[in-house]
Each structure stands twice: as C-alpha cells, then as structure tokens.
Structure 1
Amino acid sequence: MSLPPPPPGQLPLRRRRRRPTLLGLCTEGLYRVSGNKTDQDNIQKQFDQDHNINLVSMEVTVNAVAGALKAFFADLPDPLIPYSLHPELLEAAKILDKTERLHALKEIVKKFHPVNYDVFRYVITHLNRVSQQNKINLMTADNLSICFWPTLMRPDFENREFLSTTKIHQSVVETFIQQCQFFFYNGEIVETTNIVAPPPPSNPGQLVEPMVPLQLPPPLQPQLIQPQLQTDPLGII
C-alpha cells in the first residue's frame, strides 16, 4: 500500500525532517550547559573500550556528549594547541592590522604537528558550524571561545603573569572559529561583528535535548607521528 502524495507545496515527511546533526548543533547552550556527569563518565568509559560506540542507543543528551568531548581534550597528556607555540600566538594576536594578524596566525598554525593540525581543524570547523546557529543555540564564536580556550590551550592558571593575558588567549581561539575558512580551507577573510547572545534561561533543565549521533575522535598522542586521520573523524562536521 503506497502513501498518498503530499499536499501541493508540501515536501514528503522524510524530506522535511531536519538532519539529526543540525538538531544537535541547535541545542541551546551547547558546550556551556553541563550534561549529566554520570552519563559523561559512562561515555568516556565506553569510548575507551570501543571507539565505535553507539551514542544513540545509550540514550544520553547532547550536553552529556559535548561534555565528554571537552573532557577528552582536557585529559590529553599535552594540549591540542602546543605549549611551545603559545608565545607566538599571543604575539601574533597583538598585531593591530587585521590582515597581517590573521596571516601571522595562519603561519603559526602550520607549525602544528600534523595530527594536532588535523584534529584542530576538525574541532574549529565544528565550532564554526555551532556558531552559525547562534540565533537558536545562543552560542556565538565569543561564547564558544570562552568555553573552549582553556581546554584547547590548558594554561597555568596559578601563574599570576598569565592572568593578564587570558583575554588574548580567548581572542585567539575566537579568531580561529570566526575565520575558519581562511585558516583551513583557503577561504577569504570574513568581516565579523560582535553579536551578544541573550542570556541563557534561568532553568538549565529546559536546555536538555535527546541525544543525536556524535562520534568522538580516536585517542590522540600529539607527540607521536600517526597516520593521517580519515575524513571527518568527529562525525559532527
């Protein structure tokens, strides 16, 4: 028995469904709102045992998976953005001319170990996609950089001298997110405006959404040479 055709001007149901990945990107407060800690720990535990875990069958929320992803990078032996390049990044970020500053940052990124570079590109590309949905998820590039720069750079917060450069560290990651196409895909420099997202709702529970497929990257050892990553190892870009 075949289904009747849809009314004029209306797509079939299977075509009108939004892609699961897009639904995840539109989760309000993504990467800012914490997920269930027990679920997050369970995701990490199962991922250590099987990198092809089925997150949908685990029935966890997007926020729990987002937290597990951040924890993955926080637990690496060394930060994804190498400590050795932090001084260069900070100096480049101080260049007043925008075009010159972006080209300087781009040259520094090329110094990343190939594994670090590939994973960093995927992460920043994903965060750029998240920021494109900021009218729905309230997560601008600025908000995302606040959430992610400590994880990606892992600075010494006990160092008093460092405290004076925290905003510069954040601005570096924000710039990478905003200018993703320029840094990694030979795109043009885009004009950016500082869009301030509305404050999150007072009840964080309203931000929880059913889980959608999301594959975490394989174990990363930045200090070792590894084979080139397959296309889209994160499964989220």
Structure 2
Amino acid sequence: MPLQDLVTAEKLVPLLVEKCVEFIEDTGLCTEGLYHVSGNKTDQDNIQKQFDQDHNINLVSTEVTVNAVAGALKAFFADLPDPLTPYSLHPELLEAAKISDKTERLHALKEIVKKFHPVNYDVFRYVITHLNRVSQQNKINLMTFLSTTKIHQSVVETFIQQCQFFFYNGEIVEMTNIVAPPPPSNPGQLVEPMVPLQLLPPLQPQLIQPQLQTDPLGII
C-alpha cells in the first residue's frame, strides 16, 4: 500500500511505524545487534497481522522481542511500493553527496530533501530522528551495517549525523564536537543531544542477510 494511504492530516506517521519506534526506544535502544540481528520471523509476521486486526495493539503486552519489532519495522519499509526516498531523486542525492565542500554538500542535500512529497518528508524526518537516537547508543548496541557503495553509506550517515540541520533548523554539527545541543523537544523530535557517530547506514531488511546489501530501512 502506498505510504500516502497510511497517513492522515492528523497522523503524519503510519501508526505501525510509530508503535514500533516507540517500543524500540522504550525497551531496546541498548540492545546489541539492534537492526542487525534478525528477530523471530513468526513473531515479526504476527506483529503485522495483529496490528491489522487491532490498530490499538500494545506491543509490550505481546511479549515480542525488540529484534522482532525492529524486523517488522524494516519489513514495513521493504514492502512499500516505492522507497521512502523517491527513486526520481536518487541521482540528485548521490551527486550532491560527491560535493567536496562540506557546507555546500549539506545545503545541496537539504534542498533535495525539500523536494520530497510532504508525506515522505515527514516520515523520513521521523525515521532519521529515531536513527539518531539509536546512534547515540552505538557503543552499546553496536549498530553497524555494510552498504553496497561508500556513496550510499555517506548519504545515510550524513542525514543521521546532521539531523538537526536538515530537519530542525539547527546548526551544522562539527564532527570534532562531542555533543551537539538538542533541537526543540516537540513530539516526534529529538529529546537527547546528538553524538556524532562513525556509523554505517541503518534500516533495510536486506542488510540482515550478509549476501544482500542496501541501506538498512530501505530509505535510500
């Protein structure tokens, strides 16, 4: 089902995505292998089935593991007919990522993100914000991934590192900084300071299998 059919004017992020992210952030940010170790496939499938039957499902009460919930989240994005980042903008994103001057590169990427369909933009911001939170615990959860190309890795990593700049009118984070000031604490936004990370891209189911490579949530 297209992403646009899964949101409303009042609910800018698909409810299943929101429930999965909230569960992961409440119970499993420090889980080793988060977004890398496969959860139980049956549990993962059941999360989607139970959600289809009852949108008010409480994931905590289902006693599923955080890895199964992370798997369900990745499966959600993998099943979308189009990726979160529109195919039509991939060439522009990859070209912008090659710009050698850091400031110019970041501003170019920011202008491209503004071209996203509003629904894609809101969900992309939500996902990248979540990944930024996850990255703050990367010394514990060891969230690292392999990507087919360094350029794809660079794009995803840049969005995570510079989350404040891209989505919350923040300043560009200098990688020499240890901690950057957090953006405003509004719903769906960062609630903790961001730590620059040395992180390979996160979020796409294909990355679970060594022979399959992409960026983690299928966002690029």
User: What TM-score bracket applies, with the shorter chain setting the length?
Assistant: 0.5 to 0.7
Contact 2:74 2:204 in 1 (8 A): no
Check 1:212–1:71 CA distance in 2 against 1; reply closer, same or farther (3 A cut): farther
Contact 1:124 1:180 in 2 (8 A): yes
Q: Deviations over 1:48-90 (max 9, x none)?
A: 2322211111100001000100100000011000000000001
Change (3 A) 1:86 1:209: closer
Q: Judge conservation of contact 2:129–2:163 (CA < 8 Å) in 1.
A: yes
State the distance in 1 between where 2:210 and 2:47 align: 25
User: Residue 210 and residue 166 in structure 1: after superposition, are their counterparts in 2 closer, same or farther (change >3 A)?
Assistant: closer
Q: 2:205 & 2:126 partners in 1: Cα distance?
A: 15
Q: Which has the larger radius of gyration?
A: 1
8 Å contact kept, 2:75–2:205: no
Counterparts in 2 of 1:191 and 1:31: CA distance versus 1, 3 Å: same
Q: CA deviation at 1:138?
A: 1.7
Give the aligned length. Answer: 196
CA contact (8 A) 1:28 1:207 kept: no
Determine if contact 2:175/2:196 at 8 Å carries over to the other structure: no
1:47–1:173 distance in 2 versus 1, CA, 3 Å: same
TM-score, normalization by structure 2: 0.65
Unaligned runs of 5+ in 1: 1-10, 15-23, 140-161
Q: Is the 8 A contact 1:125 1:180 kept in 2?
A: yes
Unaligned runs of 5+ in 2: 5-27
Deviation digits for residues 105-134 of structure 1 (CA, Å, limit 9, x no counterpart): 000000000000000000000000000111
Q: Matches of 2:74 and 2:148 in 1, distance apart?
A: 22
Return the TM-score normalized by structure 1.
Answer: 0.61
Structure 1 residue aligned with 2:200: 217
**1:9-47 deviations in whole A, cap 9, x for unaligned?**
xx9999xxxxxxxxx111111101111111001011112
Is residue 176 of structure 1 aligned with residue 180 of structure 2? no
What's the C-alpha RMSD, in Å, of the aligned pairs?
13.0
